[in-house]
Amino acid sequence: TAPQTGLIGLGTMGAALALNIAEKGFPIAVWNRTGSVTQAFHANAGDLAPRITPTATLAELVQAITPPRAIILMVPAGQAVDDQLAALAPLLGPEDLVIDAGNANFRDTNRRDAAGLPFHFMGIGVSGGEEGARHGPSIMAGGPPAAWARMQPLLQAIAARAEDGTPCADHMGPSGAGHFVKAVHNGIEYADMQMIAETYGVMRDGLGMAAPAIAPVFDAWNKGILQSYLIEISGQVAATADPVTGAPLLDMIVDSAGQKGTGRWTAVEAQHLAAPVPVIEAAVMARNVSARRAERAAGEARFGRATPDLNLSVDDLEQALIAGKILCYAQGFAMMTAAAAEFGWALDMPAIARVWRAGCIIRSAMLNDMAAALAEDPARNLILAPFFAAQLDHSLPALRRVVAAGALQGMGLPALSAGLAWFDLMRQARGTANMIQGQRDFFGLHGFTRLDGLDHPHGPWAQA
């Protein structure tokens, strides 16, 4: 049968996705800007080659697909997507559908959607890296419900499956909603990675543990509440020896983290939404600081290193990480609640937690419990869900010990500290912003509201 689906961009993600689609029984036509890549891809497709139609031009790609067509774009986010949409415009009909599956900024997806493209348009977030794309990613779809209904069988067939068999692909909402949820996913990914790196740092610099001794700690955590892909690979990273020197590979890797910017988008959007996501912000900050190696070296030369010998156990670190993770996700879900209100989206919080349970980088056992807690009351902050409140009661003392020890010994733990500071504000019925309001009224006559409800908009500051 002739394909109804096409794919543009046979790079890392596109090639893996095309093979996944073909494997699930959907014939697919493919095109890549560099033609030799298309040929090589088809030649190496093995048993799947008969289901794949390689094409040499964009026009040939469109010709090879039976209308109404669905064409998946897997090219770098930004100008390349705009260029492809423009190139497709004269070739496609109004019933055809183009799906941007790259890491677009959701504002670009909104803009493209609003621009009135001469075909249907969706933006989907795909997580899980190459392995996920090949064997089952997590898919966060945005676009018109009719377009989702059309793509649902294919997207759910290629998606990862949670333990209960549910496919990890769902419709998040209209236009940029899918790419927005993907950005929050990536922000949380930054935060999860940073908090794990912070516990690694305490083990290395505080407890004096070498990488081979740290690996089994992560392996043990991966059997408990923290069970997750990122903890699992952290154990493997710590366990791996350098093929060149035989020393732990981790000790050979430069301590400067790269980023493609999706975590930063989340932090920026959170600021626009006035939604506090301090753990994610701290993680973005820490990546930026990591890049400043020379300045950090000068800082250490002037102020000295952190001092080891902490009275902490690895069990404290596990509990601190559990608490930090709950606080981080509570912030992320609250940010999406704010976004739903701001953008008029009906984001389904339990569905988002379910879509993240498998396939994506932040997949973890805890997301099952989060989905259940959000299903009880999607608008309630996750820290107030009885299950997580009880877990926090149990884990917070360790988070306090870890953050306090980090501060006393001079070890920066920005994400764990930021989570704790937010938590302590969130459980303080009488905060300190009365002082801010007093200051604002003093210098700017901004006024304030009185606790007793009396109408007295300004203080008598001028007479003071």
In sequence order, the β-bridge partners of residue 126 are: 139
Among 4, 5, 20, 32, binds ligand NDP (CB under 6 A): 32
* Interface size with ligand NDP, residues (CB under 6 A): 23
Q: Point out which span in 9-17, 91-99, 193-201, 455-463 binds ligand NDP (CB under 6 A).
A: 9-17
CA-CA distance, 71 to 136, in Å (whole number)?
Answer: 19
Q: Does 9 bind ligand NDP (CB under 6 A)?
A: yes
Closer residue to ligand NDP, CB minimum distance, 34 or 307 = 34
Binding mask 79-118 for ligand NDP (x = CB under 6 A): -x--xx-----------------xx---------------
Q: Sheet containing 120-127: which strands, arranged edge to edge?
A: 52-54, 28-31, 5-8, 70-73, 97-100, 120-127, 138-142, 169-173
Indicate the burial class of 133 (C-beta count within 10 angstroms; 0-12, 13-18, 19 or more).
buried
DSSP assignments along 204-234, one per residue: IIIS---HHHHHHHHHHHTTTTT-BHHHHHH
Would residue 163 show up in a list of annotated catalytic residues for this protein?
no
Contacts 24+ apart (CB under 8 A), 143-147: 143/99, 143/113, 143/171, 143/174, 143/175, 143/178, 144/120, 144/174, 145/171, 146/120, 147/97, 147/99, 147/120, 147/121, 147/122
Give the nearest distance from C-beta 14 to ligand NDP in angstroms.
5
Among 19, 21, 29, 37, binds ligand NDP (CB under 6 A): 37
Give the nearest distance from C-beta 237 to ligand NDP in angstroms.
17
> Which of 393, 191, 410, 219 lies closest to 282, judged by CA?
191
CA-CA distance, 29 to 232, in Å (whole number)?
Answer: 36
Closer residue to ligand NDP, CB minimum distance, 74 or 151 = 74
CB–CB of 93/28 below 8 Å? no
Q: Point out which span in 76-84, 144-152, 196-204, 381-389 binds ligand NDP (CB under 6 A).
A: 76-84
Closer residue to ligand NDP, CB minimum distance, 103 or 337 = 103
Closer residue to ligand NDP, CB minimum distance, 12 or 434 = 12
Element (H, E) at 276: none
Closer residue to ligand NDP, CB minimum distance, 118 or 129 = 129
Give the nearest distance from C-beta 13 to ligand NDP in angstroms.
3
CA-CA distance, 284 to 400, in Å (whole number)?
Answer: 22
Closer residue to ligand NDP, CB minimum distance, 34 or 256 = 34
Among 58, 126, 141, 374, binds ligand NDP (CB under 6 A): 126
Closer residue to ligand NDP, CB minimum distance, 72 or 321 = 72
Give the nearest distance from C-beta 57 to ligand NDP in angstroms.
12
Q: Does 434 bind ligand NDP (CB under 6 A)?
A: no
Give the nearest distance from C-beta 134 to ligand NDP in angstroms.
11
Tokens of 304: 């000295």
> Which DSSP letter does residue 112 get?
H
Amino acid at 227: Q
DSSP assignments along 341-380, one per residue: HHHT----HHHHHHHTTSSSTT-BTHHHHHHHHHHH-TTS
In sequence order, the β-bridge partners of residue 228 are: 364
Among 14, 178, 332, 378, binds ligand NDP (CB under 6 A): 14
CB–CB of 188/182 below 8 Å? no
Among 3, 6, 7, 13, binds ligand NDP (CB under 6 A): 13
Among 68, 118, 129, 438, binds ligand NDP (CB under 6 A): 129
Would residue 182 show up in a list of annotated catalytic residues for this protein?
yes
Among 28, 61, 72, 77, binds ligand NDP (CB under 6 A): 77
Catalytic residue among 24, 130, 189, 269: 189
- Contact set with ligand NDP (CB under 6 A): 9-14, 32-34, 37, 74-77, 80, 83-84, 102-103, 126-127, 129-130
Which active-site residues does the annotation give? 182, 189
